[in-house]
Amino acid sequence: MGRCRVSALTTIEAPFDRLLGESPEEFLENLPGSAWLVIPGSGPGRPRALTTLLHGNEPSGFRAVHRWLKNGGRPAVDLHVCLASVEAARTAPFFTWRARRGGRDLNRCFKEPFEGYEGELAGSILERLNDLKPEALIDLHNTSGSGPAFSLASRVDAAHERLSSFFTLRMVRLRTELGTIMEATVASFPTLTVECGGVPDAESEETAFRGFKAFAEAPAPLRPEDTGPVELLESPIQVKLKPGLSLIYGDRSAEGIDLTLREDIDRLNYGVTAAGTEIGWIDRESLDFLDALIPEGSPPLSGMLRVRDGTLETARPLRFLLATTRADIGVSDCLFYLIASL
């Protein structure tokens, strides 16, 4: 194992042979905590950076890093990899918990004040990245439910389309402000969040591995002209359940529960959902149980969803993103994102 410097993050320099173990789970157990891996490149050029495991229940990026290192991967330029929410990820059962028990969502803490465990960790990660000034940063995630891969960008240009093309040709422009690592860094260097698909989806780990390998090993500098045609989806609306309300998933309304969403709602993450599609049941006839972050120029929530005889349904053709069937995530983060479709 290489040299280590312990702070809010532990810096570990290659080689990692003794650290990796035989499986991603063994690798996770061997880590001293949140870690910053430094992997020397085969040639000169600005370093590149990757963050993953910002959410402890989203392991595809972590598994991709382990597989690539076990295969003897060598980056084109120096590569820095941040493995963030290690404590949450290895709380039994492994890769189940989004954040530490009682802790905050780390990917909502990349803004002042950098206080508490997650705030200090986010501040340390940003300090490292700002000192490094990488050629680009990729932040690897899984979607909260089953779904296809896509990238999220708060800035859309040739550099960000090139980054997306390593993983997926579907890009979503995100205009909401949540306190994410992408929002905190995109003004300094190209930053892209990649949602590799759902944890149970077999393709997710291949998407993460193929994309990470291509990003790490691409000749320097990254060339925007190598990009394939990217499908751009604009300005999703984030839909949340109002605080204090209850949520379950099922096939009918449940007594004493504020909102029941259909138990297969994550299947709506694929393709376009037609107007008039039932997505849940509610004990009222208005949308006042929902909050929405609506980017400028997007339709109001009432133009997206409606309640009819206690049934929550789509009011127009919609694309769903990040719809989850986990009530804890639905309550603490959001129910889903919506994009109006023609």
| Strand duo 259-262 + 237-241: pairing | unpaired
Report the b/e string of 202-235 with b at 16+ CB within 10 A: eebbebbbebbbebbbbebebeeeebeebeebeb
pTM score of the predicted model: 0.92
As a whole number, mean pLDDT of residues 295-319 equals: 94
Q: If you average pLDDT over residues 272-284, what whole number do you get?
A: 96
Residue 21: pLDDT above 50? Answer: yes
Cβ neighbourhood burial of 138 (10 Å; 0-12, 13-18, 19+)? buried
Q: What's the pLDDT at 298? A: 84
pLDDT given at position 3: 41
pLDDT of residue 228: 74
In tens, the pLDDT along 243-269 reads 999 999 999 989 999 999 999 999 999
The domain spans of the chain are 4-234, 237-340
Please choose, from the candidates 134, 203, 204, 208, the residue with its C-alpha nearest in 3D space to the C-alpha of residue 167. Answer: 208
Per-residue pLDDT tens for 40-54? 999 999 999 999 999
The CA distance from 318 to 213, in Å, is 33
User: Among residues of the chain, what percentage have pLDDT more than 90?
Assistant: 89
* E strand map for the chain: 4-6, 10-13, 35-39, 48-52, 79-83, 137-143, 150-153, 170-173, 191-198, 231-234, 237-241, 247-250, 259-262, 278-282, 290-293, 305-308, 311-314, 318-321, 336-340
In this prediction, residues 229-250 reach a mean pLDDT of 95
Largest CA distance in the chain: 64
Q: Which CATH superfamily is domain 4-234 in?
A: Zn peptidases (3.40.630.10)
Q: What is the pLDDT of residue 297?
A: 79
Residue environment code for 164-188, b if the CB has 16+ CB neighbours within 10 A, otherwise e: bbbbbbebbbbebebbbbbbbbbee
Q: What confidence tier does 5 reach under pLDDT thresholds 50, 70, 90?
A: very low
Confidence of residue 111 (pLDDT cuts 50, 70, 90): very high
Q: How many other β-carbons are positioned within 10 Å of the β-carbon of residue 109?
A: 28
Instruction: Say whether pLDDT at 7 is over 70.
Output: no
With beta carbons less than 8 A apart as the criterion, state whether 198 and 204 touch: yes
Q: Is the pLDDT of residue 79 over 50?
A: yes
Q: Look at 4 and 223; give whichever has higher pLDDT.
A: 223
